[in-house]
Amino acid sequence: MSRVGKSKEAEIKRINKELANIRSKFKGDKALDGYSKKKYVCKLLFIFLLGHDIDFGHMEAVNLLSSNKYTEKQIGYLFISVLVNSNSELIRLINNAIKNDLASRNPIFMCLALHCIANVGSREMAEAFASEIPKILVAGDTMDSVKQSAALCLLRLYKTSPDLVPMGEWTSRVVHLLNDQHLGVVTAATSLITCLSKKNPDEFKTCVSLAVSRLSRIVSSASTDLQDYTYYFVPAPWLSVKLLRLLQCYPPPEDTAVKGRLIECMETILNKAQEPPKSKKVQHSNAKNAILFEAISLIIHYDSEPNLLVRACNQLGQFLQHRETNLRYLALESMCLLAGSEFSHEAVKTHIETVINALKTERDVSVRQRAADLLYAMCDRTNAPQIVAEMLSYLETADYSIREEIVLKVAILAEKYAVDYTWYVDTILNLIRIAGDYVSEEVWYRVIQIVINRDDVQGYAAKTVFEALQAPACHENMVKVGGYILGEFGNLIAGDPRSSPLVQFNLLHSKFHLCSVPTRALLLSSYIKFVNLFPETKTTIQDVLRSDSQLRNSDVELQQRAVEYLKLSSIASTDVLATVLEEMPPFPERESSILAKLKKKKGPGTVTDMEEGKKEQTEVNGGVEPAVNASTVSTPSPSADLLGLKSAPAGGGSLLVDVFSDAVPATGALAPGSEDNFSRSLDLPGESPASLLVDATLGADTVTTVPAAGSEDPALPVPDADDLLNKFVCKNNGVLFENQLLQIGIKSEYRQNLGRMYLFFGNKTSVQFLNFTLNVSCPGELQNELNIQAKPVEPIVEGGAQVQQVINIECLSDFTEAPLLNIQFRYGGTVQNITLKLPITVNKFFQPTEMASEDFFQRWKQLSSPQQEAQKIFKANHPMDTEVTKAKLIGFGSALLQDVDPNRDNFVGAGVIHTKSIQVGCLLRLEPNSQAQMYRLTLRTSKEAVSKRLCALLSQQF
């Protein structure tokens, strides 16, 4: 076989000859011994690896599994791992052979079987062995080599089929493998526990103290103590890295002794980084730095030890000028994260000159990009002019691949830290001049918004943009900004003969024929604004509008504008013209679309979001109070009213506004009254009861929330999901769920078959929630009974902040189940996965109905069919208070009818359940027996399922 032909044809000929020979051997009358089978199966495996198809020999390979010789069994398992697919008819025989080897207690055979399971890793393998392998792993008599293989095999199965790996008593025992004397077992177990704890953090939280203990022993040991696991004078580097990564799945230890020991470990690692190297080999420095960077990642993750954070920053600062490119890259990346911490931000700023130099001189574009990221992250009010100037300077020679990102960062920093808005206008116009092709619509939209919202900068902006347009080569984005600003504020510079109305018009019109259709459309709108601002330009502008190139333009938009503007200027009186073409009002507050675009470009959880977590997060543009946004509301501390349930959110007076969301046409904002379209989207709970009611179509701007790419399967509902739901049967506002990380509150209102629910998600920690995704689902038949649409939320929730999600609800028919809300986010290194039942119950669509006594009893008798009545006698779970009972019945949705029941102690109510398909009349009677501490509840409705559901819901409330 080693003498395969020199050409492809010769190779194929030789292979075919060998295959024919092997086939004849397998089919021959003479039985082959184990060695021959092994030899021929091995040849088939080699032929397959050369790229040729193999369609026989599988049974012979399976037969090798029953051999008692290691070499024969090894080749059999190797062949199966490579060539047998999960749909093979032989899979049952293979599984039987594997089971026999696992039960043999021969460590070599057990390892071979475990390796085969892990290599195949199919769902069928998981179904067959996922429950067996944990037993082998935690058995007291299992050898160390088998434990290693079992841990890694279980890790493989859990990654491919997590639903088939059962959690059980073995989980607490596997954690104690971190104390095993054999470091190979500890290394394998750490990988397994890290993966498991990301989905089940509570199951494995005891691993923290054991991981700290093991890490402490490794860090404090000498290189001679762990000879078998010392790599170039570094004790157990891979295990150290894995332990540090495992600790990042959890918050800082609460036990002071454990926390103190961990801090000592971190300090020891930082101290060792300062020691002279014990070897000049690159392997030594790589192993040492791997531990250091993982330790720094853990320090950043905890973000609670100022001393360690500053020391980490100083250590990374030494790497910024290291000769190794990879180290410089990693140092810049880690410092970006440190810049977001209030404890280390000032320490990071001390390296500003080094970072600026890296931006200018680094040969590797990826390192330059990280330097730009770090400058962006370390920027604050004290150094913003310097950093913006350096980034603008770099932009002229920057790589094309990162120009757009740098443009966005310059635009955000210039806006965020602008105290003098003339500087902001100059910066953005300079940005357009230097990199006009990379200035997105969001950037030039933004400068227009800010100029319109600030009276003190409008004259300067008009003068500056007028001068910029006089350049012979002028970018189209500059023409857009110029056309918009001069159309609004050209009158502020018209007193100067050098910028008279006709000069302004001629300057703009000289650019007209070089521009694209959208820009021409914007310029036509500017021209008609000129007619209002400067009557002396009316004749000139009408001549332009009247020209064939406009009235007969092939583009419908330009033609229509020309015709309408010409007619408007001809027939409208001066007052009408002034009203229609009045100056644009200030734009309403919204999150900056530039920031949103940068987040989208970089992805959630990157340094581009860090400025929201800095200590200046409550300062916006020169001390102006920030607006409270409908989607993100910052709170002063985790102990504050995170959910805002005490009062509805309200708008502030921030300059940071954005009317141009996503895809607004460049000319659309010039139309008077267009601000109304955007202010509607800022409706908040409490502003107007009518704002909570939605049309049956649920609005074109709502979308159903879907999980982000790479998100996990939703967890099962929390154990007390039904109890949490029952709390809201008789009320619409309150806290739905709370744990140590997250608080979820609800405000909702219903009218007839429609409703709107506001969910407030409050981050109780000081650490960001990353990849924050929400998914509302209707299980089973519920999707035909409820129409639910949810607006998306931001993927980042800052520490001590909240996000809000709006859910529109339409009841199509009566229902029994509740919709499910799945919340997934990454806290530190851990993915949190929570599923709750949304408190949307059929009684929410009750409309109370007042009835006289005779009408009530007449209707009561009409609903006397056994299928229409549901009755329940139950013991009181709460004190029997009359006023509380009345409040609960009213909160349930029915009208409480007075003087109807002959027994004054009884309560009766009436109402109608509204759905899109049917209306269901409902009557209820609650009879308390205070002596026996019992209730009898009777519900009568025109529909059996509704009677039973209402009875079940209401009986839980007393």
Binding residues, by number, are: 25, 35, 39-43
SS3 content of the chain, % helix, strand, coil (to 5): 55, 10, 35
CB 216 within 8 A of CB 235: no
Tokens 């549901």 correspond to what residue? 870
- Cβ neighbors of 710 (< 8 A, separation 6 or more) are 771
Q: Is 190 exposed, middle or buried (0-12, 13-18, 19+ CB in 10 A)?
A: buried
Decide: 440 and 620 in contact? Cβ < 8 Å: no
Backbone angles phi, psi at 315, to 5 degrees: -65, -45
* The two structure tokens encoding residue 352: 């500003």
Q: Which of 809, 820, 835 shows the shortest CA–CA distance to 780?
A: 820
The Cα–Cα gap between 768 and 916 comes to: 42
Q: Classify residue 173 by burial, with Cβ atoms within 10 Å: 0-12, 13-18, 19+.
A: middle
Give the Cα separation of 15 and 486 in Å (integer): 80
Quickly list DSSP for 412-427.
HHHHHT-SSHHHHHHH
Count Cβ atoms below 10 Å from residue 29 Cβ, excluding itself: 4
Rounded distance, CA 869 to CA 945, Å? 10
* Cα gap 919→939, rounded to integer Å: 16
For residue 722, what are the CA distances in angstroms to 264, 523, 785? 45, 60, 20
What CA–CA distance (Å, rounded) separates 732 from 746?
7
CA-based radius of gyration for the chain: 36
Pairing of strands 934-941, 919-929: antiparallel
d(CA 23, CA 44): 10
Quote the tokens at residue 377. Answer: 């992250």
> What gap in Å lies between CA 611 and CA 376, rounded to an integer?
8
**How many whole angstroms separate alpha carbon 828 and alpha carbon 203?**
17
Helix pair 91-103, 107-120: axis angle to 10 deg:
140
Distance CA 365, CA 373 (A): 12
| 477 vs 285: CA distance, rounded Å | 50
Instruction: Evaluate whether 421 touches 450 at the Cβ level (below 8 Å).
Output: yes
Cβ-contact 758, 774 below 8 angstroms: no
Residue pair 348/338 in contact by the 8 Å Cβ criterion: yes
Q: Would you list the DSSP string of 443-476? A: HHHHHHHHHHH-HHHHHHHHHHHHHHHTSSS--H
- The beta strands (E) that lie in 849-916 are given as 869-875, 895-897, 907-914
